[in-house]
Amino acid sequence: MTATRNGGAFVFSLDGEDVACAIVNPATNCLTVLNVSPSHRAHGLGSAILRFLQCNFARVLESAVPFFERNGYTSRGKIKTGKRLKTQVMVKSSLLTLAGRVSAIYRA
């Protein structure tokens, strides 16, 4: 794996071949791009990258929502329709549990 200076763009290599890339907004800890080469999909690489990056938030294509749900993310809000693509904001499900506990403390 190689990363840019600010840590926001990642290229993942396997046996000298670039097989995946990801872009993370370091200020918001939000994954905005995750792309795995078609020949390397369905082998667990995307899931491994998500575990490695540990992003709390993701903005994903509508078609990728099931993949992110299988990897512990929950959809938040409505699907946004852009000029050509529909995207969904997702959050790590574990954060929702934490948010509930914090709310309970402030109500007490």
pLDDT digits (tens, 9 = 90+) for 58-97: 999 999 999 999 999 999 889 898 899 999 999 998 887 7
Distance, in Å, from the CA atom of 99 to the CA atom of 63, rounded to the nearest integer, reads 27
62 DSSP assignment:
G
Instruction: Tell me which residue has tokens 């959809």.
Output: 75
In the prediction, which pLDDT does 100 show?
Answer: 60
Domain count of the fold of the chain: 1
- The CATH number given to whatever domain includes residue 34 is 3.40.630.30
pTM for the model stands at 0.79
pLDDT in tens, 11-69: 998 889 899 999 998 888 899 999 999 888 888 889 999 999 989 999 999 999 999 99
Q: Is residue 65 within 8 Å of 87, Cβ to Cβ?
A: no
Supply the range of the domain harboring residue 48: 2-107
* pLDDT tops 70 at residue 5: no
φ and ψ at 45, to 5 degrees?
A: -65, -45
CA dihedral in degrees (49, 3, 82, 91; nearest 10)?
40
pLDDT band at 106 (very low <50, low <70, confident <90, very high): very low
The DSSP-derived string for 28-40 is TTEEEEEEE-GGG
86 DSSP assignment:
E
